[in-house]
């Protein structure tokens, strides 16, 4: 992975001078709809183009929207060398959200463009959602809810989260926050990460192990890694097959980490108890058979969609417009 210099909030280089006349484009629909973020951005810049039409911007449409602007706040839009090459005036990207897989960092570096990004600002929003989904699946809430709505009244016997072994794949900002939230549940925690933070693991009684062993031992497996060449399709059919039939899988990280066809087969054949996905390789997902499985819980990429997280991500993106370093 390419290391990016993060810019903590309120730590702007003192030599940076904000040019209120810079033209700023905001591609993000949720940022554009947020009254507080709009006002805070307009306090800094006079010329701002918001995505008020709620467009899904990609390809030529994205280039057209960004053309004529010096800076931009982007979210899930794909920014590659083709896009940057057509926008020589666009010099700074303030990243709204924590994932960088949609941005060609190498291209930015070659072309001298600047990236303002702060990691981990939505960690509590995502980690709380993971806890909620784990409890919901362990207690069969989605199935019970559907049955009651259909006129049935059948009690389901589920399991506690307390005491269950939780396997965290990727122990960065969100993974670490999840560790903190799991403390009252007294869950044994397994971690698989490319980094080894011995002090943190010792402090929280975490066992760092290989990916295959984690999949074999965990009752709850939750993904918290970025999407790059090293993680794409990391949960193959063979690795999913290592999981316990009673286990649940949670992906609130990035689409493309899991073989979704293999996941569907495992759920259909009861080789995996249940799964929750907030993200997919293609969004919105089109596999209706997977989406309608009774043991599959799905949400439309809402991991960072808490009021508090939206404000934190938005303010970090605004600060990111004033970065003066190439990534």
Q: What is the CATH number of the domain that holds 98?
A: 3.40.50.720
| Same domain flag for 52 and 167 | no
Classify residue 3: in a domain, yes or no. no
Distances (CA, A) of 28 to 58, 160, 171, 319, 325: 12, 38, 28, 16, 23
- Of the residues 69, 224, 254, 315, only one is catalytic, namely 254
| Same domain flag for 183 and 269 | yes
| Same domain flag for 89 and 28 | yes
Tell me how many domains the chain contains.
2
Classify residue 1: in a domain, yes or no. no
Can you give the pTM of this predicted structure?
A: 0.83
Per-residue pLDDT of the chain (327 residues; tens, 9 = 90+): 333 444 443 333 333 456 888 999 999 998 999 999 999 999 999 999 999 999 999 999 999 999 999 999 999 899 999 999 999 999 999 999 877 888 999 999 999 999 998 888 989 999 999 999 999 999 999 999 999 999 999 999 999 999 999 999 999 999 999 999 999 999 999 999 998 899 999 999 999 999 999 999 999 999 999 998 999 999 999 999 999 999 999 999 999 999 999 999 999 999 999 999 999 999 999 999 999 999 999 999 999 889 999 999 999 999 999 976 666
- Of the residues 301, 308, 315, 325, only one is catalytic, namely 301
Instruction: Say how many C-beta atoms besides its own lie within 10 A of residue 18's C-beta.
Output: 11
| Same domain flag for 224 and 132 | yes
Helices (H), the chain: 29-33, 35-44, 59-66, 81-85, 105-111, 123-138, 141-149, 173-182, 198-203, 211-217, 237-240, 260-268, 288-291, 307-320
Alpha carbons within 13 angstroms on the beta-carbon side of residue 21 total 0
- Of the residues 283, 286, 289, 325, only one is catalytic, namely 283
| Same domain flag for 130 and 109 | no
Say if residue 244 is preceded by a cis peptide, omega within 30 of 0: no
| Same domain flag for 97 and 139 | no
Catalytic site includes residue 301: yes
Classify residue 2: in a domain, yes or no. no
Write the CB contacts of 81 (distance below 8 Å, at least 6 apart in sequence). Answer: 104, 107, 110, 111
Which of 160, 92, 138 minimizes the C-alpha distance to 250?
Answer: 138
The values of phi and psi at residue 47, to 5°, are -115, 95
Classify residue 5: in a domain, yes or no. no
Range of the domain at 233: 123-298
| Same domain flag for 58 and 177 | no
Catalytic site includes residue 156: no
| Same domain flag for 88 and 144 | no
Classify residue 10: in a domain, yes or no. no
Q: Which residues pair with 71 in a beta bridge?
A: 24, 92
Catalytic site includes residue 140: no
| Same domain flag for 258 and 172 | yes
| Same domain flag for 254 and 214 | yes
| Same domain flag for 191 and 294 | yes
- Cβ distance 7 to 319 under 8 Å? yes
| Same domain flag for 88 and 195 | no
- Cβ distance 220 to 276 under 8 Å? no
Classify residue 149: in a domain, yes or no. yes
């Amino acid at each position: 992975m390419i290391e990016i210099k993060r810019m903590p909030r309120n730590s702007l280089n003192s030599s940076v001078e904000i040019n209120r006349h810079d033209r700023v484009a905001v591609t993000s629909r949720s940022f554009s709809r947020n009254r507080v973020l709009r006002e805070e951005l307009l306090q800094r810049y006079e010329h701002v183009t918001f995505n008020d039409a709620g467009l899904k911007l990609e390809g030529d449409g994205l280039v057209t929207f960004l053309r004529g602007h010096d800076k931009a706040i982007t979210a899930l839009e794909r920014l590659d060398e083709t896009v940057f090459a057509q926008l020589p005036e666009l010099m700074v990207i303030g990243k709204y959200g924590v994932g960088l897989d949609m941005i060609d960092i190498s291209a930015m570096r070659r072309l001298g463009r600047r990236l303002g990004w702060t990691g981990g600002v939505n960690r509590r929003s995502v980690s709380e959602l993971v806890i909620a989904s784990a409890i919901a699946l362990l207690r069969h809430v989605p199935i019970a809810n559907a049955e009651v709505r259909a006129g049935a009244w059948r009690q389901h016997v589920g399991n506690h989260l307390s005491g269950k072994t939780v396997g965290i794949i990727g122990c960065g900002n969100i993974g670490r926050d999840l560790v903190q939230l799991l403390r009252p549940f007294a869950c044994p925690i397994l971690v698989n990460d490319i980094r080894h933070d011995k002090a943190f693991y010792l402090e929280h009684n975490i066992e760092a192990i290989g990916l295959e062993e984690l999949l074999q031992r965990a009752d709850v497996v939750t993904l918290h890694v970025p999407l790059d060449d090293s993680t794409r399709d990391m949960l193959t059919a063979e690795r999913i097959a290592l999981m316990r039939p009673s286990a649940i899988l949670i992906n609130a990280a990035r689409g493309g980490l899991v073989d979704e066809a293999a996941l569907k087969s495992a759920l259909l054949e009861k080789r995996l108890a249940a799964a929750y996905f907030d993200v997919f390789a293609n969004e919105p997902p089109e596999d209706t058979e997977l989406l309608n499985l009774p043991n599959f819980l799905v949400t439309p990429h809402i991991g960072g969609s808490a009021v508090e997280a939206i404000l934190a991500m938005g303010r970090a993106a605004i600060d990111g417009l004033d970065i003066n370093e190439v990534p």
